[in-house]
Amino acid sequence: MRTIKLGPTPLEVPVVAVGCMRINSLDKAAAERFVKTSLEEGANFFDHADIYGGGNCEEIFADAVQMNATVREKLILQSKCGIRKGMFDFSKEHILASVDGILKRLRTDYLDILLLHRPDTLVEPEEVAEAFDALAASGKVRHFGVSNQNPMQIQLLKKHVKQPIVANQLQLSITNATMISSGFNVNMENEAAVNRDGYILDYCRLNDITIQPWSPFQYGFFQGVFLDNDKFPELNRKIDEIAAKYEVSNTTIAMAWLLRHPANMQPVTGTMNVERLKDCLKAGDIRLTREEWYEIFRAAGNVLP
């Protein structure tokens, strides 16, 4: 599995992260097979969140991987906190309590990365800084990041937080690519020119923040996958054509499209299907040509100015 540096850290991470949001949909044997397959394929970066399955997903993962000190050193574990029922909460008290719960469920003494899960408009960055300092000093968290945050929200945190922000999880796929399309349409009077995220793509590249695309196969907000979907005939024809050339699946090509971007993104998978997971991971071995990348982009309905 090809690796990249995670932000400014010394961590070498697989180019594809294994998302565990749906691992609670598997029985014990299937969960063990899923985790074992991931590790056999060199995909040892696992993404969690305290709200996935109400915390149950982290417990299931720890059981499936048969967590112990020897196993732990072979894993890179990331989790997220900050979402509560009906609200977001980046208070010091909640962050610290959440991490303790995550560590207990994962049966580990530390997280490699903790992300703040979505922005909290009531955030007091001084409190976040205190929480991060305490977690870093205790060794409970080694690196920190965010999810779904724009440049100014990150800058607000960085005013007080001294640890580097190493990752930002953002929704991005071939059909949900406004952070890319707006960059093509600067100074244009059209819908694609609307800047919805403060040029977060460029900001992350300038500040060595690894973008972790979530829902890499979804269109809309969990409306479904675009692959093999009659709503996207031209896109699927083009992806299938390129997949045939490389002798891989359409899943592999759709993931390779994200990996082709020079921002060195680390997409997060969502599938619990072992064979589809393998197809996702194969994308790390494929580098689409510039022509192929743009052909796919246009086939999704994106118009170049």
User: Looking at the annotation, which residues are catalytic?
Assistant: 52
Residue type (1 letter), 85: K
Sheet strands (E) in the chain: 3-5, 12-14, 18-19, 45-47, 76-81, 83-84, 87-88, 111-116, 141-147, 165-171, 210-214
Considering only CA atoms, which of 164, 149, 142, 163 is closest in space to residue 78? 142
Asked whether 221 and 276 are in contact (CB, 8 A), the reply is no
What is the C-alpha to C-alpha distance for residues 205 and 210, in angstroms, rounded to an integer? Answer: 8
Give the C-alpha distances (Å, rounded to integers) separating 152 from 149, 156, 160, 170, 240: 8, 6, 13, 15, 39
Asked whether 43 and 1 are in contact (CB, 8 A), the reply is yes
Terminal-residue alpha carbon distance, the chain: 37
What is the C-alpha to C-alpha distance for residues 34 and 176, in angstroms, rounded to an integer? Answer: 28
* Number of Cβ atoms within 10 Å of the Cβ of 10: 7
Cβ contacts of residue 280 below 8 Å, gap of 6+?
16, 251, 252, 255, 267, 269, 271
HSE, side-chain direction, 13 A CA sphere, residue 297:
21
Considering only CA atoms, which of 192, 169, 191 is closest in space to residue 179? 192
* Number of Cβ atoms within 10 Å of the Cβ of 247: 7
